[in-house]
Chain A
């Protein structure tokens, strides 16, 4: 699997480029916790040309106070995926139209898919 490393500052521009080239289908978006840094993964596909491989973008951001621009205004199909990453990893997306927790209750504290998360942090006892 070929990943393309994109600096966070160039993300919007690069994605805009790929959208114009026809990679308009959002396959998946998620994050991976590497400790010091968080890696954000975007997979885009061109449905018109099945012969073209998926584009896999990888963005590294600092894991304390992680922030990056939202792609939802460009790709509406990422709205729930970005909410999910916000919910489970605590990543803030600037410019997201509706950044709320997706799966966990609104009064939940902590972000369970981070490696340092412990169940007591979220108020779960036992």
Chain B
């Protein structure tokens, strides 16, 4: 009997996880080398959702390309739009009217909430907690309803334009958002009560998947992944853009760098987003939402890098123009792809069941990883 057990623990087993697996959050595939139940090696495979968005940007004109960024990270499309439109505006030199900037802030923070809510539900589902999923999806649907009322779409909004927004928001809609913020605040207390002190959850995430500060920086981690390891960096504070130049954004950090810290950072970020929404809703001023821009947008000679703090980290666009309506080159910096670089460091030495919890805490979206 003992001899048999030894042979099981010593034999190396290759386990393929994904691309069709509910815990990989999309079409992500990783090959785990196991000794017993312990992970000794990880090989990630991506590209199953590659649609060539960077090439498409060279084949479409600037205006034609406007709906495409929504499809990069379909859970946080407003940030993709902001990154692309913002890069174009920086290259061309377009000034955006103040009301458009305020409204961009509002839709982005709403989108951050909806993205984090989806992460929260599925992450807890991964570690075996079923009910929070139902709660977070209820609230997420309310946010999507608000965004749908404004833009006509639940996920792929196409709301931002070079120079402003597609159309103005009505006062009634802003009132609804305000009421929504009050409602969500109550709900968040409910989430914390439901999840924080849960013994099973704590044991499954505390001290699991630790990455230290120095490594987090050298691996290029950003967003909640980096802030959970003590990197006090938020682009909304460090490289403010749009309306974030006028408001004070709290940078939420934790020191430990484990899965629990990443959970805490995202939970606090949601509350910070509610605080920002309050400020935005109180400060939004009347006025036009579109600057005067030519109908046929052309990218001048030159290049620029513009990045926004998305729910997953630094989402950047490196844009090269050559005087035509087409981009000469448009490169997307996808935060999830950089965050995945730390995956084997996070997983090796842990159990298979931890792999699912750790991957959940990285919060990847394959539309963005593969582009």
Binding site for B on A (CB under 8 A): 1, 3, 24-28, 30, 32-33, 41, 43, 47, 50, 54, 56, 75-80, 88, 101-105, 112-113
Contacts and interface: CB of A to CB of B under 8 A. Distances in A.
Given A47-B231, A50-B238, A113-B54, A76 B331 contact: no
A56 B318 CA distance: 11
A1 B341 contact: no
B316 interface: yes
Nearest to A26: B220
B219 interface: yes
A47 B302 CA distance: 26
Contacts of B305: 1, 27-28, 43, 54, 56
Given A27-B314, A41-B318, 17 more contacts: A24-B217, A26-B338, A27-B316, A27-B333, A28-B331, A28-B333, A30-B318, A30-B329, A32-B320, A50-B238, A54-B305, A76-B219, A88-B54, A102-B47, A103-B370, A105-B47, A113-B329
A25 B215 CA distance: 10
B337 A1 contact: no
B233 interface: yes
Contact of B341 (A3, A50, A79): A79
B55 A113 contact: yes
A28 B316 contact: yes
B331 to A, nearest CB: 4
For the residues of B in contact with A, the DSSP-based class is mixed
B220 A25 contact: yes
Interface residues of B, number: 35
B303 A1 contact: yes
A24 B218 CA distance: 6
Given A1-B304, A28-B305, A30-B331, A103 B218 contact: no
B178 interface: no
Contacts of B47: 101-105
Name the residue among A33, A78, A88, A102 with the largest chain B CB count within 10 angstroms.
A102
25 contacts: A1-B302, A1-B304, A24-B218, A27-B305, A27-B307, A28-B305, A28-B331, A30-B329, A32-B303, A32-B328, A32-B329, A47-B217, A47-B233, A54-B305, A77-B218, A77-B220, A77-B338, A78-B220, A80-B340, A103-B47, A103-B50, A103-B370, A112-B55, A113-B55, A113-B329
